[in-house]
Amino acid sequence: MNTFGLIFRLTSFGESHGGAIGGVIDGCPAGILLDTDFIQSELNRRRPGQSDLTTSRKEPDEVKFLSGIYEGKTTGTPVGFIVHNTNQHSSDYEDLKNVFRPSHADYTYQSKYGVREHRGGGRSSARESISRVVGGAIAKLALKKIGISVVAYTSQVGTIQLNRPYSELNFNNIEKTPVRCPDLDRANQMIELIQRVKSEGDTIGGVISCVCKGIPPGLGEPVFGKLHAALGSAMLSINAAKGFDYGMGFAEIHKKGSETNDLFYRKANGKIGTKTNHSGGIQGGISNGEDIYFRVAFKPVATLLKKQITVNNLGEEFILEVKGRHDPCVLPRAVPIVEAMAAMTILDYYLINDGKLHPFIDKQSKNNC
Amino acid sequence: MNTFGLIFRLTSFGESHGGAIGGVIDGCPAGILLDTDFIQSELNRRRPGQSDLTTSRKEPDEVKFLSGIYEGKTTGTPVGFIVHNTNQHSSDYEDLKNVFRPSHADYTYQSKYGVREHRGGGRSSARESISRVVGGAIAKLALKKIGISVVAYTSQVGTIQLNRPYSELNFNNIEKTPVRCPDLDRANQMIELIQRVKSEGDTIGGVISCVCKGIPPGLGEPVFGKLHAALGSAMLSINAAKGFDYGMGFAEIHKKGSETNDLFYRKANGKIGTKTNHSGGIQGGISNGEDIYFRVAFKPVATLLKKQITVNNLGEEFILEVKGRHDPCVLPRAVPIVEAMAAMTILDYYLINDGKLHPFIDKQSKNNC
Amino acid sequence: MNTFGLIFRLTSFGESHGGAIGGVIDGCPAGILLDTDFIQSELNRRRPGQSDLTTSRKEPDEVKFLSGIYEGKTTGTPVGFIVHNTNQHSSDYEDLKNVFRPSHADYTYQSKYGVREHRGGGRSSARESISRVVGGAIAKLALKKIGISVVAYTSQVGTIQLNRPYSELNFNNIEKTPVRCPDLDRANQMIELIQRVKSEGDTIGGVISCVCKGIPPGLGEPVFGKLHAALGSAMLSINAAKGFDYGMGFAEIHKKGSETNDLFYRKANGKIGTKTNHSGGIQGGISNGEDIYFRVAFKPVATLLKKQITVNNLGEEFILEVKGRHDPCVLPRAVPIVEAMAAMTILDYYLINDGKLHPFIDKQSKNNC
Amino acid sequence: MNTFGLIFRLTSFGESHGGAIGGVIDGCPAGILLDTDFIQSELNRRRPGQSDLTTSRKEPDEVKFLSGIYEGKTTGTPVGFIVHNTNQHSSDYEDLKNVFRPSHADYTYQSKYGVREHRGGGRSSARESISRVVGGAIAKLALKKIGISVVAYTSQVGTIQLNRPYSELNFNNIEKTPVRCPDLDRANQMIELIQRVKSEGDTIGGVISCVCKGIPPGLGEPVFGKLHAALGSAMLSINAAKGFDYGMGFAEIHKKGSETNDLFYRKANGKIGTKTNHSGGIQGGISNGEDIYFRVAFKPVATLLKKQITVNNLGEEFILEVKGRHDPCVLPRAVPIVEAMAAMTILDYYLINDGKLHPFIDKQSKNNC
């Protein structure tokens, strides 16, 4: 399905080499000032060619809005938008028409649909994420009005890990380095590694971390729509994602309950909080008001500039030698995509939850929450 | 939301201390022989009191089917079922009525709904998973008819890890040990660890691994309904789950593309397969016919038999001292739940996909897939 | 699909001759006082055997709630409920096991599922509506808190029509007559007609009208989720329904625009209203604050006490002679079902809409609405 | 919600005076030859200015496809499309910015969203149906491959009714007359009436009938997704629709069961059919293989060329005098829209149903269906 969300819904379309990438955002609250500079700046963070860590393809990726906006604000009706594809080299792909590239989606699309658009990966191209970034940028504008922020950064490339807790990081550094890691020393090591791998014609994966602040308690729909299950699904739907964890996650899963339980206390402002946050801001699938933080693992890009042996659609062996412009590492450009999916998920859950209580329940019964 | 799935849909209800746990399975294919012995045996794998690794509560957890079955087979109409709650000690919870237990869902349910059933965790109780196991057992019966199997096992408890690839494991051993780890040496170490932790009044988490075999190519709905995104959401919706990864996952995310790409070849039977399976049986969100395998991280049980400092609903400090019957480790009983969620997810995606091609596309165009 | 609604969701199960009819209500707001006497009284209005206009079967149809309620109030978690089947004469149906009764769902269920529960119509039995009435009663309790009421009545039986506008009717009369028509003269004519038809072994159809008051402006989700489209779908999903119209409907569709346009004016209380209400309280798919009113056409009951020629599953001719206890007219018992479906639809749309504006839009911009 | 369908899904966007009307079709089967001439011809049937019965606005309404198509065929990935708005006279609407036109959606959109695009009715404009017609045209191309056809025609304008059963009509006549009524005598009377009403500055409503042939038995999802409930919702979602009935409908609802029951018999080809078809091809919410036929009531166009008294957003009285180009009767242009919604509904239900049985049920058990 190419629709994401229940109330705030993004429907996405477009292939790498078709006329355009685009989408429809339905259920967007009315009255959001559509800051198109901000939206374009988010697209620019995703755009290829922004540094020598990414593919050298140049695509302006300018978004055009077609509906749902009046006098600069959203009207509550669906926001249609398109981004034209302008820099496709279809001929690059002519030899690959009947070839199944390793660890790409060529074979599975052919299996599922009996037909596929082979140029640039077709629908499975990373260009599909353009729609996500547009949807996410609008979600961020809405979330900003209610005090919620979402920030992601690269926390691992290959074996180079950023192990410090996010509270010790300076998020203002993220955009200062092309690899989008807020620890500038570690960022330099990552950059060096990516350049080395690139020079070998190889690729490298890693981990993106994300922190969401300002989440009110109460978001999440047990039992199947737990907030972290929705975030996990959103993240795993991003191309190349191989894993998701939140709070203590895989990394601390060996610890004991007495080490990981988050004790409640009354904060200075009178509200209830937790002393630690191994829970990652979510308990029983519902936000508890603490920061939400999670990680997403991304595999190495499947397109190598090395020879690989594969088969074509007749099962015949084929020596694959790709030339052209490709990313050695997906992470720097995936940072805004992770943020976009998180922002849409949280806004959707905010809208699902809003109004649940009022006016059906007595006000005083939620006094201390 | 308490409904899971698009075509094969489980709707679940019930609290720990209410009249019953139950559910409705809608969209179940007609003609499935409802093997009630098998279904009950799956429930027994989840049941408390099955070994000294689990809580000593005795609950028979007998399922009663109320509809959707005629002459022993499903009719395609909704299958309603209930499991009565029989062994609740409500008075155990009287003192906790207004207390927020650390790392439980007490505070978040109160925040969200303004009211909560405090006894036994109410809706957030692990008893909720009974409905999942019933739904999963029926899904397994359907999958068996099309040659698909789903097997899960405990692969990590605390720091004790089972690092061998699943192909070297003997799955027949899984049910031979109460911890459900197929490596019996490692199983004994896990059991010892759980007993030690239990004796300390503490709890411990770990990882469950799962392997799905016999999956045809073509299951998965890009771009937001990728098969692994659906599996991830399903797993993360299980109580205490903190992470999900599949294929190479977090553990091998540091590797290079040349180390992890799965090369295609023509198998002896003429079909196309991959020489390795770092992809975990899914490429571009669609199954490729190889085994699907994934991991789920589970946190330590939040209920400790140790003193903990917390607050009540007025924000007043409260010294929590729990007595009673609790699991020191959730993993042994979570194994059938992981299988159940995987089985329902895969059956649902099978039903979504079935008929996609026929009769709209020429047969020959999918010859080699 | 056996689930109704997006936020307030009823999932229904059960056959005429299975263990129980039941359902799960998910998304019910927390804090609703569950007035079980009221819910049971609604079921009693639907129950067979309540007058000599209905089947003489006696079924107590007592509802039992299994979850989602604490100290008499809803908790926001799913409300599971069952009504046991107690008065089935399965042997009545033994001869009909392989017979397709005219204008029943026997043939179509067999075609769709390849198997069917033949006793009492199985899932297609009118007993299925029990779940609707329970869901609707709870929705009514929630709507009452926000000042919304839903009232239905029989407005046509055979050729006997109640042509007066609803504003001239005394709704207090509805429950004074077994046919549930508020015009007592017309009610007597209807009763006489039903009894005559019954004595002939025949059956008769008609129309139920429904009026919803207190609806705030703004409910409805253009363009496909228009409020009247949702009401229409809800009504047409009731057994035996053949048509739906609202506002001017089929009956006045021949009029000109100058006769049917509803002119706006400022009401005494300063709010904007319409002088007439040919729109039926909905414009562009969204409620405008005026009363919503609509009609539902119901066909004659398909079970006749007359000989009919049909076929069995082998296509062989079969002379059908039904004996037993059947309704000569479905309308009196369908009145509470129409109300139930309307109440659930409106509550669902209220919950979808609630929170749409706040806090994203400036308060003053909706001053006059 | 601006998405229609479960598997075959149309998501629509666009306002009358925005950049474009468009949409995304998701879940379209792969391998459909996209006959763009046919699709454009369907749009031309909907287009304004096609005869003097419609508005004189000239809009080319040329559709441009942006994705989901490869070598002229659908690929199973989402089909994005746009139709640019080219002939808007925004200044026509400047005076109406703050005015609530009678029986339009101005007031309700303002109430719901707190803001609205006033030009040309914004999202509530009839131009929105362009997306429906594109989606419907593609659905028709798919249905044609499986032998299903959908034909609609005008059966009533004002008091002029076409009372003959559809089997006596020559559907080849439909496109021979601008009013799209297959009885040419009656068509002329309708045309005369529309012209008279137009000359008075008034408008007129009526009824469109639709017939679907070639439907296999088994389509429909009881109990809430009955096929006629889905068709009803689809039709009622069309602008200006006030009612829906199928089979015997409101017109024959006064008849007795013995007059309306459809007796089964074995047809010459050995299949089971019904002698009459008061059921309208649907029994128990599931298609029975007979023709499906239904009616949709449309109100008179709300825009009159006569003075009307209304209010503005401050509640002040406003004398509305519309000039410009408007339809005196919506029916001729609504015929292709009715067909489009029917085609999408039936294709969606076909795809939902397909694969339900196989391979879970024994083949022989459905031999005679």
How many angstroms separate the CA atoms of A214 and D303, rounded? 48
C-beta neighbour count of B214 within 10 angstroms: 15
Question: Does C109 reside within a domain?
Answer: yes
Paired with C298 in beta bridges are C206, C241
Question: Does B367 reside within a domain?
Answer: no
The bridge status of strand B160-161 relative to strand B206-213 is unpaired
User: D356 vs B77: CB contact, 8 Å cut-off?
Assistant: no
Strands, DSSP E only, in chain C? Answer: 3-4, 9-13, 20-26, 63-65, 69-70, 73-74, 79-84, 99-100, 149-157, 160-161, 206-213, 241-246, 264-266, 272-274, 282-283, 286-287, 292-298, 308-312, 317-320
Residue C24: φ, ψ to 5°: -130, 130
Q: What is the pLDDT of residue D364?
A: 43
pLDDT interval class at A89 (50, 70, 90): low
Structure tokens at B334: 């979570």
Strands, DSSP E only, in D201-288? Answer: 206-213, 241-246, 264-266, 272-274, 282-283, 286-287
- D140 has a pLDDT exceeding 90: yes
Element counts in chain D: helices (H) and strands (E): 7, 19
- A362 has a pLDDT exceeding 90: no
**Sign, Cα dihedral of C158, C163, C165, C167:** negative
Q: What is the pLDDT of residue B326?
A: 83
User: C233 vs D237: CB contact, 8 Å cut-off?
Assistant: no
Residues of C in Cβ contact (< 8 Å) with A145:
359-360
Given a cut of 50, the residues of chain B with pLDDT beneath it are: 358, 363-369
pLDDT interval class at C358 (50, 70, 90): very low
* pLDDT one-digit tens code per residue, C342-355: 999 999 999 998 75
Residues of B in Cβ contact (< 8 Å) with A130:
none
Q: What is the pLDDT of residue D361?
A: 52
User: D108 vs C287: CB contact, 8 Å cut-off?
Assistant: yes
Nearest to B18 among C20, C24, C67 (CB): C67
Evaluate whether D188 touches D176 at the Cβ level (below 8 Å): no
User: A113 vs B357: CB contact, 8 Å cut-off?
Assistant: yes
Amino acid at C259: E
pLDDT interval class at A88 (50, 70, 90): low
Kindly report the nearest CA distance between residue C243 and chain D, in angstroms: 4
DSSP A59-87: ----EEE-SSEETTEE-SS-EEEEEE---
How many angstroms separate the CA atoms of D212 and D152, rounded? 9
User: C145 vs A362: CB contact, 8 Å cut-off?
Assistant: no
- C220 has a pLDDT exceeding 70: yes
Which residue, A155, A196, A195, A198, is CA-closest to A334?
A155
Q: What is the pLDDT of residue A105?
A: 95
Question: Does D363 reside within a domain?
Answer: no
C-beta neighbour count of C196 within 10 angstroms: 13
Question: Does A59 reside within a domain?
Answer: yes
* Contact residues, chain B to chain D, C-beta under 8 Å: 6-7, 29-32, 76-77, 142, 145-146, 222, 351-352, 354-362, 365
Overall average pLDDT of the C264-292 stretch: 97
Q: Domain containing B272: what range?
A: 3-357
Evaluate whether B238 touches B136 at the Cβ level (below 8 Å): no
Q: What is the pLDDT of residue A342?
A: 98
- Cα-trace Rg, chain B: 22
User: D82 vs A65: CB contact, 8 Å cut-off?
Assistant: no
Count chain B–chain D contacts defined by CB atoms under 8 A.
Answer: 53
Question: Does D362 reside within a domain?
Answer: no
* pLDDT one-digit tens code per residue, A91-144: 667 788 899 999 999 999 999 998 888 888 899 998 999 999 999 999 999 999
Q: What is the pLDDT of residue C281?
A: 98
Count chain A–chain B contacts defined by CB atoms under 8 A.
Answer: 379
* Contact residues, chain D to chain B, C-beta under 8 Å: 6-7, 29-32, 76-77, 142, 145-146, 222, 351-352, 354-362, 365
Residues of A in Cβ contact (< 8 Å) with C356:
29-30, 76, 351
SS in 3 state form for chain B? CCEECCCCEEEEECCCCCCEEEEEEECCCCCCECCHHHHHHHHHHHCCCCCCCCCCCCCCCCEEECCCEECCEECCCCEEEEEECCCCCHHHHHHHCCEECCCCCHHHHHHHHCCCCCHHHHHHCHHHHHHHHHHHHHHHHHHHHCCCEEEEEEEEECCEECCCCHHHCCHHHHHHCCCCCCCHHHHHHHHHHHHHHHHCCCCECEEEEEEEECCCCCCCECCCECHHHHHHHHHHCCCCEEEEEECCCHHHCCCEHHHHCCCEEECCCCCEEECCCCCCCEECCEECCCCEEEEEEECCCCCCCCCEEEEECCCCEEEECCCCCCCCCCHHHHHHHHHHHHHHHHHHHHHHHCCCCCCCCCHHHHCCC
Q: Cα–chain-centroid distance for residue C101?
A: 24
Q: How far apart are the first and last CA of chain D?
A: 37
Evaluate whether A4 touches D9 at the Cβ level (below 8 Å): no
How many angstroms separate the CA atoms of B164 and D228, rounded? 56
Overall average pLDDT of the C226-238 stretch: 98
Evaluate whether D168 touches D153 at the Cβ level (below 8 Å): no
Mean pLDDT, all residues of chain C = 92
Overall average pLDDT of the C121-127 stretch: 90
Kindly report the nearest CA distance between residue B351 and chain D, in angstroms: 7
Question: Does A25 reside within a domain?
Answer: yes
Question: Angle at CA A120, nearest 5°, toward A116 and A123?
Answer: 50
Structure tokens at D255: 């008849």
- D363 has a pLDDT exceeding 80: no
- A276 has a pLDDT exceeding 90: yes
* A356-365, C38-47, C245-254, D206-215, range with the lowest pLDDT: A356-365
List, as own/partner pairs, every contact residues A2-5 make where C-beta atoms lie below 8 angstroms and the sequence separation is at least 24, other chains included. Answer: A2/B222, A2/B223, A2/B224, A2/D24, A2/D26, A2/D77, A2/D78, A3/B224, A3/D3, A3/D9, A3/D11, A3/D26, A4/A132, A4/A135, A4/A234, A4/A237, A4/A341, A4/A344, A4/B224, A5/A344, A5/A345, A5/A348
Question: Does C246 reside within a domain?
Answer: yes
Single pTM value for the model = 0.96
Overall average pLDDT of the A74-86 stretch: 94
- D357 has a pLDDT exceeding 60: no
Paired with D63 in beta bridges are D83
Question: Does A15 reside within a domain?
Answer: yes
Task: Give how far Cα A258 sits from Cα of A276, A288, A324, B199, D230, Å.
Answer: 12, 20, 54, 13, 54
* pLDDT one-digit tens code per residue, D303-343: 999 999 999 999 999 999 988 778 899 999 999 999 999 99
- Cα-trace Rg, chain C: 22
Domain count, chain A: 1
- C295 has a pLDDT exceeding 90: yes
Q: What is the pLDDT of residue B356?
A: 61
Paired with B211 in beta bridges are B151, B293
Judged by phi (left if over 0) then psi (alpha if -120 to 50, else beta), residue B196 lies in alpha
* Orientation angle between helical segments D227-236 and D331-353, nearest 10 degrees: 150
Helix (H, G, I), strand (E, B) or coil at D82: strand
- Residues of chain D above pLDDT 90, percent: 81
How many angstroms separate the CA atoms of C362 and D3, rounded? 28
Paired with A4 in beta bridges are A10
C-beta neighbour count of B199 within 10 angstroms: 10
Q: Cα–chain-centroid distance for residue C218?
A: 23
Which residue, among D1, D2, D79, would best test binding to A if mutated, counting the most A CBs under 10 Å from its CB? D2
How many angstroms separate the CA atoms of B332 and B38, rounded? 19
**CATH number of the domain to which A45 belongs:** 3.60.150.10
Structure tokens at A205: 């994966």
Residue D299 CB contacts under 8 Å (≥ 6 apart), including other chains: C247, C248, C253, C257, C260, C278, D103, D205, D240, D241, D242
Write down the ipTM of this complex: 0.95
Q: Write down which chains contact chain C via at least 3 CB pairs under 8 A.
A: A, B, D
Burial track B324-348 (b if 16+ CB lie within 10 A, e otherwise): eebbbbbbbbbbbbbbbbbbbbbbb
Which residue, A230, A216, A255, is CA-closest to A369?
A216
* pLDDT one-digit tens code per residue, A19-32: 899 999 999 999 99
- A321 has a pLDDT exceeding 70: yes
* pLDDT one-digit tens code per residue, D217-247: 999 999 999 999 999 999 999 999 999 999 9
Between C157 and A48, whose confidence is greater?
Answer: C157
Q: What is the pLDDT of residue D89?
A: 67
How many angstroms separate the CA atoms of C130 and D295, rounded? 30
pLDDT interval class at D355 (50, 70, 90): low
* pLDDT one-digit tens code per residue, D153-186: 999 999 999 989 999 999 999 999 999 999 999 9
* Orientation angle between helical segments B129-145 and B331-353, nearest 10 degrees: 50
Residue written as tokens 């911009």? Answer: C365
Which residue, among B361, B366, B367, would best test binding to D if mutated, counting the most D CBs under 10 Å from its CB? B361
C-beta neighbour count of C198 within 10 angstroms: 18
**Sign, Cα dihedral of B339, B340, B345, B349:** positive
Q: What is the pLDDT of residue B363?
A: 46
Which residue, among D238, D242, D299, D367, would best test binding to C if mutated, counting the most C CBs under 10 Å from its CB? D242
